Amino acid sequence: MGIQGVMRLLRTLFRQDRAESDLAEELQFHLQNEIQKNIAAGMSPEAARYTALRSFGGVDQVKEKCRDMRGARFVDELWQDARYGLRMLLKNPSFAAVVVLTLALGIGANTAIFSVVNAVLIRALPYHDPEHLVMLWTDNPSWNVGFNELPPTPTDLLDWRSQAQSLDQIAAFKVAWADLSEQGDPERVGGVQVTVNLFPLLGLQPMLGRTFTPEEERPGQNKVVIISHALWERRYGRDPTLIGRTVTMNRERLTVVGIMPLGVDFPRGGEMPSGYALSPRTDVWVPFAEDSKYWQRDDTREFIAIGRLKSGVTLPQAQAEMGNIAQRKANEFPATHAGWTVHLRPLSLQVAGKTRPMLFILLSAVGFVLLKSRKAL
């Protein structure tokens, strides 16, 4: 509907009597013109009028069509329905209160649940080609820990990186905490230690500054930090000169090399399985740097791995390859890897986790309540 149509509808709504009068005058004008044409053609006045009315199809029917075209009928019926509904509610105030309260609860619950469903299940993850991102977990039923999503060992990560042909990159991160002790009150924030290829794997770039360099994964050269937009705004007052300056974190002086864009918060709680403690928000990232001895260890499982499928590679293909790598390692090192398997889980499903069916159930339930409320009216 254009501007003229909107104006015509508003005139119909607020000047209905005038609009009806104008419509009657206009139809009468056209009817008289038609009668005059018929008389000029040799008809009697009675026959001319009868023929004109037949050609019009009936004045009342023409009026209804005109009202439909300009929206008057819709407005009139809407107004009649509203008045009828108001009269019914005023006759029974207690019923009206129940209906209004039920509608308010239904609409509020629908809005809240849909916001969660949209964030968790519908809206795309804020990473480059998120459908190609997978979490890499290990499992050994003999451990009987209550869940099957365990991190790999350092040697696993090295083997995966060197042998896997179905994955472009494999990065890893470890949950950490950071105690800030300057520029304000002491504050503990959520953070992670990461391999320096994590941000390139995710396709994330800082809003200010840069990501980590390979050199900063070496011991002694890892005194750098990337902070979140939220922390930059909350604690440092959006100071653009923070890049290149040092901050005290966990009693160490770290140089701020990057500030991530608004909304970047990896990993979030959904990307972690049950059994892993994680801050509600990730505010700092630091590079993980260990010597070569660490990467030869098979007695620790603390890093969580994430990979990116190569273009054209399906998840079953990658799963089969990773399963073969795990089997070869179990055969070669039975003392540390017998019984261990590897399974890949799309990041989108990892984020939704076990809440996916529950969210759909809740959305259906509140929708049913809203529907019942509408029928009650």
Tens-place pLDDT, residues 144-194: 766 788 999 999 999 999 999 999 999 999 988 899 987 778 899 989 999
Q: What is the pLDDT of residue 122?
A: 46
Range from 10-24, 124-138, 356-370 carrying the lowest mean pLDDT: 10-24
What are 339's two structure tokens?
């019984």
Provide the domain count of the chain.
Answer: 3
363 in the same domain as 313:
no
Q: Which of 35, 67, 89 is the last residue of a domain?
A: 89
**Which residue range forms the structural domain that includes residue 67?**
3-89
Buried-state track 264-287, b at ≥16 Cβ within 10 A, e below 16: bbbbebbbbbeeeeebeebbbbbb
H or E stretch at 198: helix 198-202
- Across the range 47-75, mean pLDDT stands at 61
108 in the same domain as 27:
no
More confident site: 114 or 332:
332
More confident site: 196 or 125:
196
**C-alpha of 125 from chain center:** 7
115 in the same domain as 27:
no
201 in the same domain as 80:
no
292 in the same domain as 261:
yes
CB 223 within 8 Å of CB 229: no
Tens digit of each residue's pLDDT (9 = 90 or more) over 289-341: 988 899 999 989 988 999 999 999 999 999 999 999 999 999 999 999 999 99
DSSP string, 240-302: GGGTT-EEEETTEEEEEEEEPPTT---S-GGGS-TT----SSEEEEEE----TTGGG--S---
147 in the same domain as 82:
no
Q: What percentage of the chain exceeds 90 in pLDDT?
A: 43
Q: Quickly state the pLDDT bin for 6 (edges 50, 70, 90).
A: very low
H or E stretch at 169: strand 167-180
How much is the pTM?
0.64
Q: What is the pLDDT of residue 40?
A: 83
Half-sphere exposure of 29 (CA within 13 A, CB side): 6
How far apart CA 181 and CA 248 sit, in angstroms, is 6
More confident site: 118 or 300:
300
107 in the same domain as 54:
no
**Which residues have CB under 8 Å from 125's CB, separation 6+?**
133, 347, 348, 351
334 in the same domain as 361:
no
157 in the same domain as 120:
no
323 in the same domain as 233:
yes
DSSP string, 290-337: --TTGGG--S----EEEEEEPTT--HHHHHHHHHHHHHHHHHH-HHHH
75 in the same domain as 164:
no
134 in the same domain as 119:
no
More confident site: 346 or 24:
346
